[in-house]
Structure 1
């Protein structure tokens, strides 16, 4: 579908006011069962899930393809601000009606689909998902679930309020590895875990740099204002789209947002941790020349080491300390590894559990679960307590489709928002500590009031709990 222009005062008003009035206008639809609507081409929910894909390029492209691959989802609508990025998906699903503005999609088509996939830059995850949920749409949201701590709590509560089926796009949550690690731990193979290390080689995009100069020529295929969405109005800069936005706080959540959901998922499942009680961070320095340290608060740092403390759970004997490391920083090699043995799995990413009786390790997506020393892995025995997800990481998509068809509360999903919300909050709380360096030099420990989502000992850091949304783009 060609790019649609906003013409006429009536249309402009409709688009501008949708965020305030669209939900009320559709309220009556929310309580009408879909089978009552009927209509030409109607398929009962028990047969096919009608999906709208918001974000159709990059990861959105692969997500949409995986929903279709499940065999029980029809891609009914596509939405993307960039015609270049969405071209392949539009070609693959020619029957799907195409929009550039997700507000227009919801306003015009909310009666004609069941569920939404949201795979946009982080800063627009929550606003799209939340307005879809208010209309009774099941949602699949790419990791991290949200950009801000406030948004994560909001979506977690909205899933219950609107009774919609949810899933975050951290596919490793459906892998066998998370379940095997949990079974090993429950069988007592490594004793009581008190310390966990998670690390990544990200960022693999620019961070710790000055904001680039504006470029006068916006690609004709890109609606720059729609791409900005909730973020402050700024002139177009080159190379921010489609990937390097990850390193800027206005849009992305840095290495933690990209890889944290994949690597910290296992400790959440294995140890049943949820909300941290304090956090501290140190960050890598940037130098603009040989003698002068740079200060670029708009940009995520090139590296960081963050320490979160989680309260004792039913599966631990005391508090759990979780270390996050990015930018190539890794923990000290366990003594159980031989001098020429590597960690295993994907290089540069890992999760290490340290218990009172032993250690265990996993790679990205909880792949390659391994007891240390490695010789123990082959003969490890533990009762199977967790049902496996058919297809593992690929099955993560089909699991959501099946859950949507079954209906709210009928099936358990690997990363439904009641699980993904607390995980996302922990990662964003870690980012809060990282961003605190721009306000106060040195490293302090931020004490966290989880019920009120508030730092209690350094109020200036609370500005990072909920950012200021651009006028006309508020939740």
Structure 2
């Protein structure tokens, strides 16, 4: 539980960061030397980061934090990874349990990066938000729809700066394509197709029967976090966890927050009215299917007509005839409008092609706001106390994550689900609502 005095302390520091980031710290009046004043000003203007998950993707998030502030704490459930990061940031305190980290040094932390397996994103990020800390969290933002809704509400309530790690949001190609669609230059959009080469890890498997000894450096109990207890097996960690229902979010969770990002942002593809999945099947309630095709239907709103989005993974792809003259790769996205198409074979939509090409040769592309960099947006938001400066802040990212994860709800339900986004429930298949949340192991409860 957050101590009563922490909120006011965190709020005061946020205001100070805003003032110093925008204006520079004011000179003190008194007997301090100019050198002492400069030293104190520099220290107070520095964002103090704690990094949870410090290797793999966590290494780049960690180093981004180090470039834009001071890393005061490092946390990882693998001591070998922790020591490797600590060698780079020897001034940081080391922890294997983020809960202990917050208990001991919350007052010394301004912001947190979360770069752990999917099942521990929300428990880490929610603790940080409840402590009044700004949060940068990797995609998919959460493991469940209910967790996404919680993080949205916490960030909004506490007016904290946030960013999801879908770095393509900052790319010029994505932002330009969004403006093309929003301007109406494609005409009315009725279909979106997204496909991926995932899974690239074992999936569609039953639970391993062998009981293995965890590596000496790995705290298996902490790695499990909120997930049900089970014996260690190398089929789960360090990389292969994505395909297991207890830990990962499958192909959708790995890539859709990247590959759906442009079309969701441009067309406001939130709260589908229905989702249905065709797949090779959930295996023993343990592992995501080897392949799937998922269809999301969105009703018309005041900006566009109805849209259907199709997701393909595990070798499934859309009909090549939809994009004549273009080589269809293993991953891509296609937005089909009445006046033309946007195709990208870049997972982050950093580049794209307008189709048919001859139709667009004299086209003047729209202007868009250039990003200073995905993580720098987050740091700038903190310094200026303006959460909106981070474009993939939780107000947007939580809704994108909900859209993505509803595909997994449909996969697990095995039938078409009809969705009431306002009330956060499946209306036609009540038994599917259990897939919107999870049971949390004792000591890791979130609600």
Q: TM-score, normalised by structure 2?
A: 0.90
| Structure 1 residues 150 and 133: alpha-carbon distance in aligned structure 2, compared to 1, 3 A threshold | same
Aligned to 2:300, which of 303, 312, 322? Answer: 312
For the pair 1:351 / 2:322, whether they are aligned, the reply is: no
**Alignment deviations for residues 358-386 of structure 1 (CA, whole Å, 9 cap, x no partner):** 211122101221111234555431331x2
Aligned to 2:226, which of 201, 211, 230? Answer: 230
Aligned to 1:452, which of 407, 417, 423? Answer: 423
1:372 maps to 355
The 5 A counterparts of 1:251-266 are: 251-266=247-262
For the pair 1:47 / 2:34, whether they are aligned, the reply is: no
Verify the 8 A CA contact 2:145 2:436 in the aligned structure 1: yes
Alpha-carbon distance in 2 for matches of 1:63, 1:97: 17
Aligned to 2:409, which of 432, 437, 440? Answer: 432
The 5 A counterparts of 1:192-207 are: 192-207=188-203
Aligned to 2:327, which of 334, 337, 342? Answer: 342
Shift, 1:331, TM fit: 0.4
1:399 maps to 377
Shift, 1:84, TM fit: 2.5
**Alignment deviations for residues 161-199 of structure 1 (CA, whole Å, 9 cap, x no partner):** 111100000001111112111222234332110110011
Q: Secondary structure at the match of 2:276?
A: strand
Alpha-carbon distance in 1 for matches of 2:360, 2:14: 50
**Alignment deviations for residues 221-280 of structure 1 (CA, whole Å, 9 cap, x no partner):** 111111100000111112411111100111100000000000111111211222211111
Verify the 8 A CA contact 2:273 2:418 in the aligned structure 1: yes
Shift, 1:404, TM fit: 1.1
Q: TM-score, normalised by structure 1?
A: 0.85
Alpha-carbon distance in 1 for matches of 2:235, 2:199: 16
**Alignment deviations for residues 271-297 of structure 1 (CA, whole Å, 9 cap, x no partner):** 1222211111111259xxxxxxxx422
**Alignment deviations for residues 447-470 of structure 1 (CA, whole Å, 9 cap, x no partner):** 111112111111111110111111
Alpha-carbon distance in 1 for matches of 2:91, 2:167: 28
Aligned to 2:122, which of 108, 119, 126? Answer: 126
Alpha-carbon distance in 2 for matches of 1:28, 1:187: 43
Q: Secondary structure at the match of 1:364?
A: coil
Shift, 1:59, TM fit: 0.4
Verify the 8 A CA contact 2:169 2:392 in the aligned structure 1: yes
For the pair 1:273 / 2:269, whether they are aligned, the reply is: yes
Q: Secondary structure at the match of 2:197?
A: coil
**Alignment deviations for residues 396-418 of structure 1 (CA, whole Å, 9 cap, x no partner):** 01111111111144x42220001
Q: Secondary structure at the match of 1:52?
A: strand
1:324 maps to 311
Verify the 8 A CA contact 1:184 1:381 in the aligned structure 2: no
Verify the 8 A CA contact 1:197 1:351 in the aligned structure 2: yes
| Structure 1 residues 35 and 328: alpha-carbon distance in aligned structure 2, compared to 1, 3 A threshold | same
Alpha-carbon distance in 2 for matches of 1:366, 1:408: 26
Alpha-carbon distance in 1 for matches of 2:216, 2:40: 36
Aligned to 1:360, which of 342, 367, 387? Answer: 342
Deviates more, 1:371-380 or 1:447-456: 371-380
Verify the 8 A CA contact 1:53 1:78 in the aligned structure 2: yes
Structure 2 runs not aligned, ≥5 long = 17-35
Verify the 8 A CA contact 1:23 1:131 in the aligned structure 2: no
2:100 maps to 104
Shift, 1:44, TM fit: 5.7
| Structure 1 residues 452 and 169: alpha-carbon distance in aligned structure 2, compared to 1, 3 A threshold | same
| Structure 1 residues 433 and 45: alpha-carbon distance in aligned structure 2, compared to 1, 3 A threshold | farther
Greater helix percent: which structure? 2
| Structure 1 residues 93 and 239: alpha-carbon distance in aligned structure 2, compared to 1, 3 A threshold | farther
